[in-house]
Amino acid sequence: MSEDINLDFDRERRIGQPEIIYGESKSNEQLIEIVEQLQRAELNGLFTRVSPAQADAVLSLYPSISYDKVGRCLTLQVGAPATGRGELALVCGGTSDIPILREAECTARFLGFDSRVYADVGVAGIQRLMDRLDAIRKARVVIVFAGFEGALASVVAGQVSAPVIGVPTSVGYGVAAGGQAALNAMLSSCANGLLVTNIDNGCGAVMAAARILPLPTL
Of 41, 76, 111, the last residue of a domain is 76
Q: How many CB atoms lie under 10 A from the CB of residue 187? A: 12
Q: Return the half-sphere exposure (C-beta side, CA atoms, 13 A cut-off) of residue 185.
A: 22
Predicted pLDDT at 214: 79
**31 and 50 in one domain?**
yes
**Is residue 105 very low, low, confident or very high in pLDDT (cuts 50, 70, 90)?**
very high
Predicted pLDDT at 34: 92
The answer, yes or no, to whether residue 167 has pLDDT greater than 80, is: yes
Of 44, 76, 108, the last residue of a domain is 76
Give the domain extent around 132.
87-212
Predicted pLDDT at 12: 80
Residue 35 lies in a domain: yes
Predicted pLDDT at 6: 81
Residue spans of beta strands (DSSP E) within the chain: 21-22, 45-48, 66-68, 73-76, 87-92, 114-118, 141-146, 164-168, 195-196
Q: Which residues contact 79 (CB under 8 A, 6 or more apart)?
A: 42, 43, 44
The answer, yes or no, to whether residue 124 has pLDDT greater than 60, is: yes
Rounded Cα–Cα distance for residues 120 and 118 (Å) = 7
Q: To the nearest whole number, what is the mean pLDDT of the chain?
A: 92
Give yes or no for a contact between 67 and 55, defined as CB atoms under 8 angstroms apart: yes
Predicted pLDDT at 3: 65
Give yes or no for a contact between 168 and 147, defined as CB atoms under 8 angstroms apart: yes
Residue 143 lies in a domain: yes
The answer, yes or no, to whether residue 2 has pLDDT greater than 70, is: no
Q: Residues 10-56: pLDDT tens digits?
A: 888 888 788 899 999 899 999 999 999 999 888 889 999 999 999 99
Rounded Cα–Cα distance for residues 215 and 157 (Å) = 24
The answer, yes or no, to whether residue 135 has pLDDT greater than 80, is: yes
The answer, yes or no, to whether residue 216 has pLDDT greater than 90, is: no
**Where residue 152 sits, what CATH number does that domain have?**
3.40.50.1970
**201 and 134 in one domain?**
yes
For the chain, percent of residues with pLDDT exceeding 70: 97
**64 and 35 in one domain?**
yes
Residue 82 lies in a domain: no
Q: What is the pTM of this model?
A: 0.92
Q: How many CB atoms lie under 10 A from the CB of residue 71? A: 23
**163 and 100 in one domain?**
yes
Residue spans of beta strands (DSSP E) within 84-193: 87-92, 114-118, 141-146, 164-168
Rounded Cα–Cα distance for residues 86 and 23 (Å) = 27
